[in-house]
């Protein structure tokens, strides 16, 4: 049997609220078995898009297919084909890990005859066999996250949606979850759709990334090709007057790709090694003291800034919603 080339097919998907288009005529195909990253500032439409794909919200127009099932005509079949890990915790800490999995196996209609074996396999997969019968309130943040991911796999979905899967976790736990997601995807032959504010997370996990802004995809490609579109190096500068230095660089050298954030000025230039002496000389001529100057290759944060005009680090402080919040509003 031939595998479907696209497990997700989005066709002219649109969501309008009065005069505001949250999602504007979106067309995306996601390949079977890939990890697909969806990035964008708040209001870009990424959460609304995922909520429509999960049948939490109804589109204004257009449609999409998940594993061949139309999100409008066959919502129940779509729900059986997907798993969701919400940004906010959504598991019962008064139950044990095993009891949480059992409850969701029943909710998803997993046959009673195979529930015990399925739960045992999931517990082994998420490395929680030894803690399966402990109350969830005794779990660490990383353990809870692994259980939530395992719960999303209990009915063997074709697509797993991960909404900010490592938010609030320490760096070591985040790294463990990243490796874990990669292994899970390969072991279960599933497609993963990832929304995240961590650029290193998107870079490390995603096979392809779509950056959305104002309801549209502004660019879609592999992380490597996205970074290559900037065609330059990034010079990171700390000085006693970054604002004045930014204006001088723009005036004299036409360095238009500049970003000033707190005490750091970042400039994207075609040849960073040649540009650094010129920057230092200009600063000296204008009595600006450079504390440090570092050359690095572009990263996804630079790509995001270039295509959306803002830093995703700025955006995280304003993130007050997610799939779980929309889900709560949708069921009221």
Query: Which domains occur in the chain, in start order?
Result: 6-223 (3.40.50.300), 231-297 (3.30.70.980)
Q: From the centroid of its chain, how far is CA 128? A: 25
Question: E strand or H helix at 26, and its extent?
Answer: strand 20-31
**Element holding 315 (H helix, E strand):** helix 312-316
State the Cα–Cα distance between residues 286 and 184, nearest whole angstrom: 56
Distance, first Cα to last Cα, the chain: 42
DSSP class of residue 130 equals G
d(CA 34, CA 49): 18
**Could you tell me if 150 and 84 are in contact, meaning their C-beta atoms sit under 8 angstroms apart?**
no
**Local confidence pLDDT in tens for the 332 residues of the chain:** 455 579 999 999 999 998 899 999 999 999 999 999 999 888 899 989 999 999 999 999 999 999 999 999 999 999 999 999 887 778 899 999 999 999 999 998 999 999 999 999 999 988 899 999 999 999 998 899 899 999 998 998 999 999 888 888 888 888 888 888 888 888 778 999 999 888 899 999 999 999 999 999 999 999 999 999 988 899 999 999 999 999 999 889 877 678 888 789 999 888 888 999 999 999 999 999 999 999 998 999 989 988 988 766 555 444 434 555 544 444 33
């Amino acid at each position: 049997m031939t595998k479907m080339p696209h497990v997700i097919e989005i066709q002219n998907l649109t969501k309008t609220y009065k005069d505001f288009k949250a999602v504007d005529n979106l067309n995306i195909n996601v390949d079977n078995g890939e990890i697909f990253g969806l990035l964008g500032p708040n209001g870009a439409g990424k959460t609304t898009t995922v909520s429509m794909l999960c049948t939490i919200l109804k589109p204004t127009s257009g449609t999409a297919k998940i594993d061949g099932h139309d999100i409008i005509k066959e919502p129940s079949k779509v729900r059986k084909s997907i798993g969701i890990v919400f940004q906010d915790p959504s598991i019962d800490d008064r139950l044990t890990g095993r009891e949480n999995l059992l409850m969701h196996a029943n909710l998803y209609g997993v046959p009673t005859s195979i529930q015990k074996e399925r739960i045992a396999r999931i517990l082994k997969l998420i490395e929680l066999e030894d803690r399966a019968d402990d109350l969830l309130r005794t779990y660490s943040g990383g353990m809870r996250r692994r259980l939530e991911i395992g719960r999303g796999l209990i009915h063997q979905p074709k697509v797993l949606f991960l909404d900010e899967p490592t938010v609030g976790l320490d760096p070591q736990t985040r790294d463990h979850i990243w490796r874990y997601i990669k292994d899970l995807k390969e072991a279960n032959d599933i497609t993963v759709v990832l929304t995240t504010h961590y650029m290193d997370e998107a870079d490390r996990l995603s096979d392809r990334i779509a950056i959305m802004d104002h309801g549209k995809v502004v660019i879609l490609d592999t992380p490597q090709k996205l970074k290559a579109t900037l065609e330059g190096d990034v010079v990171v500068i700390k000085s006693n007057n970054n604002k004045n230095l930014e204006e001088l660089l723009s005036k004299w050298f036409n360095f238009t790709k500049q970003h000033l954030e707190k005490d750091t000025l970042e400039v994207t230039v075609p040849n960073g090694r040649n540009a650094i002496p010129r920057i230092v000389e200009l600063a000296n001529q204008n009595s600006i003291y450079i504390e440090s100057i570092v050359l690095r290759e572009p990263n996804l944060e630079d790509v995001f800034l270039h295509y959306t005009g803002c830093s995703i680090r700025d955006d995280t402080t304003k993130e007050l919603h997610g799939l779980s919040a929309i889900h709560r509003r949708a069921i009221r």
